[in-house]
């Protein structure tokens, strides 16, 4: 069979991997031209999951082992409890994972052309492309991300994305910018977590430019979650042209706004988180994202399926967005392998049945954690599980 994939990001390339491994022809269309670049910081990954999707050993992916969580819990300003918890997952970057997936599949990818419409012809589907041409296939997989304009073809009852009342500020610092006296603390095999009233922070090591994991060439990734109202976000995230935006790229903050958001980075913060975030502020590598989620009512219908963020958006506070996309791809591959001559409608229906409860549950988990975060209830006996347990979620 032939499948068309709308989008060549992580979820699209993961789908291409499993479809190609099952012997199907794949054609992918990507709106952006040229090589897709990393717009974020680090990712929490399960290397065995990536190996299952790509069919290649985990060693082919640039990743750092995370062996422990260093949890600092601040219940009363100035009073902290520090704990160590074992961990067993990896960290990498968006670019490393994406390039690994690209190298692991051989679909034809057309850049600079987007799928703008899909028509079910009964025995096949026809897609309309942004360059005015058309293409046909047995099925279409929409991997066009959170902002998908075609999602309603599968899920016309999909809810409007919901603002979670939280923003995520992120910064990336190269290892050679780290003071020697802090290097051992920052570039270790731990995920540093700090839960304090009104904010939640984390820091961990990821590969450096080009996916290198060599000491001296790695990167430190830090993030802080802050509760903010929608009105405040619209004010602080405003573009220079006066347009509201949900994401602020590094170097594009209005004067003074980034400083106001990280003004509480006092000396009580975990030193690794504090240092990386301050470096990001001073060197214009600070990024910001307002957190939106949506919960699907279905992720496949007829000859069209949704995968990754196009079908479900969970809070990054779960650390499971990329893992969920890879699990979607595996479920799609399983449905195809078990097809036994069934038509695409039945195959996609089996995929929907397999994954829908899991992705709905993941969205619910993220929203529950967000609510808990907005009403601080963390104690030394109940440390935060955010991100560190994400790879075990559905």
Both 168 and 156 in one domain: the answer is no
Domain annotation covers residue 356: yes
Tell me if 377 is assigned to some domain.
no
pLDDT 10s digits, 279-292:
999 999 999 999 99
**pLDDT (mean) for 176-202:** 90
Distances (CA, A) of 314 to 164, 226, 300, 390: 10, 17, 18, 11
Residue 90 is predicted with a pLDDT of 85
| One domain for residues 112 and 227 | no
Task: Report the number of distinct structural domains present in the chain.
Answer: 2
107 touches 137 (CB < 8 A): no
Predicted structure pTM score: 0.90
- Give pLDDT, residue 329: 96
Same domain, 244 and 366: no
Are 49 and 82 contained in the same domain? no
Within-domain flag for 394:
no
Domain boundary among 292, 315, 335: 292
At residue 389, does pLDDT exceed 70?
no
Which residue would you say has higher pLDDT here, 157 or 127?
127
Tens of pLDDT, residue by residue over 292-304, are 999 999 999 999 9
Considering the domain architecture, whether residues 73 and 209 belong to the same structural domain is answered as: yes
Residue 285 counted as domain residue:
yes
Q: What is the pLDDT of residues 74-95, one digit of tens each?
A: 776 667 788 888 888 888 888 8
Residues 198 and 243 in one domain: yes
CA-closest candidate to residue 125, choices 294, 268, 4, 10: 4
* Mean of pLDDT over the chain: 87
Q: Are residues 238 and 176 both part of a single domain?
A: yes
pLDDT(392) > 50: no
Burial class (CB in 10 A: 0-12, 13-18, 19+), 245: middle
pLDDT value at position 376?
55
pLDDT of residue 77: 63
Same domain, 248 and 336: no
Percent of the chain with pLDDT over 90: 50
pLDDT in tens, 98-117: 889 999 999 999 999 999 99
Write down the pLDDT at residue 384.
47
Instruction: Give yes or no for residue 131 having a pLDDT over 90.
Output: yes
- The reply to whether 389 falls in a domain is no
Residue 179's pLDDT band, with cuts at 50, 70 and 90, is very high
CATH of the domain at 360: 3.50.50.60
Q: Provide the 3-class DSSP secondary structure of residue 224.
A: strand
The answer to whether the Cα torsion of 147, 153, 154, 155 is positive or negative is positive
Q: Are 312 and 296 in contact (CB under 8 A)?
A: yes
Q: Quote the CA–CA distance of 280 and 298 in Å, as a whole number.
A: 40
How many other CB atoms are found less than 10 A from the CB of residue 151? Answer: 21
Output 83 or 386, whichever has higher pLDDT. 83
Mean pLDDT, rounded, for 200-219? 90
- The stretch 181-210 carries a mean pLDDT of 89
State residue 47's pLDDT score: 85
More confident residue, 214 or 40: 214
Check whether residue 14 and residue 153 sit in a common domain. Answer: yes
Could you report the per-residue pLDDT of 9-29, keeping only the tens digit for each? 999 999 999 999 988 999 999
Higher pLDDT, 324 or 198: 324
Instruction: Quickly state the pLDDT bin for 266 (edges 50, 70, 90).
Output: confident
Least confident of 93-102, 336-345, 354-363: 336-345
Residue-level pLDDT at 38: 62
What's the domain range around 247?
A: 67-88+162-292
Tokens of 314: 């969970």
- In this structure, of 32-41, 185-194, 362-371, the range with the lowest mean pLDDT score is 32-41
Pair (10, 135) in one structural domain: yes
Final residue of a structural domain among 227, 261, 292: 292
- Tell me: pLDDT of 249 over 60: yes
Asked whether residue 140 is domain-assigned, the answer is yes
Q: Which two tokens stand for residue 221?
A: 């990734």
| pLDDT of the residue at 206 | 92
Q: Which pLDDT score, from 0 to 100, does residue 40 have?
A: 59
The verdict on residue 351 lying in a domain is yes
What are the angstrom distances between the C-alpha of 98 and each of 35, 95, 345, 376? 10, 5, 29, 35
The answer to whether residues 124 and 248 belong to one domain is no
Report the range of poorest mean pLDDT among 141-145, 158-162, 275-279.
Answer: 158-162
Task: Report whether pLDDT(382) > 60.
Answer: no
Q: Does the structure show a pLDDT above 70 at 379?
A: no
Q: Is 378 contained in some domain?
A: no
Strands 247-248 and 139-142 come out as unpaired
Where residue 272 sits, what CATH number does that domain have? 3.30.9.60
Q: Is the pLDDT at 43 greater than 80, yes or no?
A: yes
User: Of 270, 254, 238, nearest to 83 (Cα)?
Assistant: 270
279 and 364 belong to one structural domain:
no
Residue 41 clears pLDDT 50, i.e. is over it: yes
Give the residue from 292, 317, 334 where a domain finishes: 292
């Amino acid at each position: 069979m032939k499948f068309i994939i709308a989008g060549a990001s992580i979820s699209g390339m993961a789908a291409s991997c499993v479809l190609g491994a099952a012997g199907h022809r794949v054609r992918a269309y990507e709106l952006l031209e040229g090589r897709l670049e990393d717009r974020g910081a680090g990712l929490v990954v399960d290397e065995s999951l990536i190996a299952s999707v790509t069919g290649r050993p985990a060693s082919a992916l640039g990743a750092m082992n995370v062996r422990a969580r260093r949890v600092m819990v601040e219940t009363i300003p100035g009073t902290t409890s520090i704990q160590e918890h074992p961990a067993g997952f990896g960290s990498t970057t968006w670019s490393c994972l994406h390039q690994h997936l690209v190298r692991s599949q051989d679909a034809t990818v057309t850049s600079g052309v987007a799928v703008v419409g899909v028509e079910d012809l009964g025995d096949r589907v026809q897609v309309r492309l942004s360059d005015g041409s058309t293409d046909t296939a047995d099925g279409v997989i929409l991997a066009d991300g959170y902002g998908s304009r075609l999602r309603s073809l599968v899920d016309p009852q999909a809810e409007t994305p919901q603002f979670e009342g939280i923003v995520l500020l992120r910064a990336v610092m190269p290892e050679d910018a780290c003071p020697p006296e802090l290097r051992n603390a920052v570039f270790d095999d731990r995920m540093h977590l700090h839960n304090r009233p009104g904010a939640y922070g984390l820091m961990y090591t990821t590969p450096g430019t080009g996916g290198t994991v060599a000491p001296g060439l790695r990167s430190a990734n830090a993030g802080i979650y802050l509760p903010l109202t929608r009105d405040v976000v619209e004010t602080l995230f405003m573009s220079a042209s006066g347009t509201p935006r949900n994401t602020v790229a590094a170097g594009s903050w209005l004067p003074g706004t980034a400083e106001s958001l990280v003004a509480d980075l006092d000396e009580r913060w975990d030193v690794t988180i504090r240092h990386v975030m301050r470096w990001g502020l001073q060197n214009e590598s600070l990024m910001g994202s307002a957190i939106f989620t949506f919960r699907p009512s279905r992720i496949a219908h007829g000859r069209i399926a949704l995968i990754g963020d196009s079908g479900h958006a969970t809070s990054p506070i779960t650390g499971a967005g990329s893992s969920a996309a890879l699990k979607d791809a595996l479920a799609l591959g399983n449905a195809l392998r078990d097809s036994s001559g069934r038509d695409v409608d039945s195959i996609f229906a089996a995929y929907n049945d397999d994954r829908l409860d899991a992705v709905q549950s993941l969205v619910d988990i993220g929203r529950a954690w967000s609510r808990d975060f907005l009403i601080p209830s963390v104690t030394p006996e109940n440390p935060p599980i955010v991100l560190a347990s994400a790879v075990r979620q559905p």
